[in-house]
Structure 1
Amino acid sequence: MWTTLKRTWHAARLTLHIAILLSPFALAAWVFHAAVSNNLGVPLGVFGALAVLLFFRRWWRQWAVLISEAWRLGVRLAPDLAAFVKVKLQRAQRQVQGDWRDLRRWARR
């Protein structure tokens, strides 16, 4: 039980740290959206978003580590994800073909 609690606590702390680390990106996206939706223009939105990210420039090294690790994880999971999507799409295609055949049979009656 103790190892489960420790693992859960570690996962919760890691999730919180990642959320805090990514919060400037959310703030930059919000600034960009606010500028564009108020008809201030895309260049001003980009400038505002870059200003927010520049304000958090101490975090750039941590962002580089996080992005590289996410890229490494994505590359490792991509083949499995592609196979999963392929199977799901094939099943959906067979389902649609079967439904279409049933509809054509029903229309002939």
Structure 2
Amino acid sequence: MTKQALLFNYEYCSGCKSCEIACRNHLNLGLGEWGIKVTEVAPFEIAPSKMEWIYQPVPTRLCDLCEDRVEEGRKPACVHNCLAFCIEYGAIEDMVARAAELGSRVSLFLP
């Protein structure tokens, strides 16, 4: 089986945390535990009168890429529940190619 990866296009992440909640529910985690955690870089000025505010989903060691869901032919919980459609799942080679296509505001999770 081809190794799989998650791609995060954080240019479009709105910080809604639906991926966090879906993951926590899927893994039956308690408060303060995450399989994926949305981090926030608070607003900062990048040029006069131009601000930047970044949200970025980050998988933790508890993330197993939803092995059980994937075995059933479903997407990982974070991908399925992302309201901004900024999380993708697929073969590592495909995700690397997609990251190159999207540019600099992406990150890959390769377990």
Q: Under TM normalisation by the shorter chain, which class is it?
A: under 0.3
Report the TM-score when normalising by structure 1: 0.25
Report the TM-score when normalising by structure 2: 0.24
Choose between structure 1 and 2: higher strand proportion.
2
Choose between structure 1 and 2: higher helix proportion.
1
